[in-house]
Amino acid sequence: MSINAREFYRNGPIHRQAHASSFALIRRQFDFRSIEIGRWVTNAERDRAAELFHDALCDLMLILRGPEALISLRGSLALQYGSGGRPGVSAHYDPCQRSFSLAKNAGPGSIAHEWFHAFDHYIVTKCFRGAPSGLFASTAWLADAKPVPHPLNDRLMHCFQAILLQPEGDRPSELFRHSARMDKQLGQLYYSRPEELCARAFEAFVQDATITNHFLVKGSKASPEAAKGLYPQGEQRERINRLFDDYFSTLGTALRQEH
């Protein structure tokens, strides 16, 4: 079923007049590096996707309490819709291209997850000295990379610690243990990778916000993955949400003061 034929539950403020959006408008508003639409995307699918993307990105901006420059990572992030993805993968962030791809017929609900991958990748050189540019900040933190001292970086490190470790020390968190158990059952290394743990924790933070947008995020509460403990739960989830809110609201204030 194409994106054009589907409706996605949303409860949030109006960001645009009815049907008044386009990928050109999205690029201008957020200053994305580029936006590419696949050749098999019809005009109707493109126009409907633009409306959904526009609302999702504006909702994310409000949830994070940051400006447009945060969403496009200072104009460094590229978007691809119905183009540039991987076979069998509905949504994908490519660190080499610094691009976020969403498949035409699948992937809605994955925007928050993939956006955090892009952010996690973008921020690594701001947080750690000498970190390879292809690394994620969450991975660098777990590998004890040398941090760049800054109050904002300290706040982000607290987020990583709450996601990956127990609050009382350096033992793995419940979220990590559930994820490692799932990887062992499946004979893979995916769910327990730090960048995946942190992206799923970010999904939970976004889904718990007062704004609801199923094109932006869904599945961190009621899904097979959530039932298996692959998203933060209970007190850990509440703690992570508080820390993410503190970090992004402080970051948003700092970015706005630059202008």
pLDDT tens figures, 21-54: 899 999 999 999 999 998 889 999 899 889 999 9
pLDDT (tens digit per residue) in 45-64: 899 889 999 999 999 999 99
Burial, 234: exposed, middle or buried (Cβ in 10 Å; 0-12, 13-18, 19+)? exposed
Confidence grade of residue 123 (pLDDT, cut at 50, 70, 90): very high
pLDDT (tens digit per residue) in 147-173: 999 999 999 999 999 999 998 878 999
Residue 3 pLDDT greater than 50, yes or no: no
What is the pLDDT at residue 1? 32
- Residue whose pair of structure tokens reads 């470790």 in the numeric block: 165
**Distance from C-alpha of 155 to C-alpha of 71, rounded to nearest angstrom:** 19
Question: Which three-class secondary structure state does DSSP give residue 37?
Answer: strand
pLDDT (tens digit per residue) in 196-234: 999 999 999 999 999 999 999 998 998 999 999 999 999
Listed in sequence order, the residues at least 6 apart from 146 whose beta carbon sits closer than 8 Å to its beta carbon are 128, 129, 130
Residue 167 CB neighbour total at 10 angstroms: 11
CB distance 243 to 137 below 8 Å: no
Report the candidate in 241, 209, 242 with the shortest Cα–Cα distance to residue 62: 209
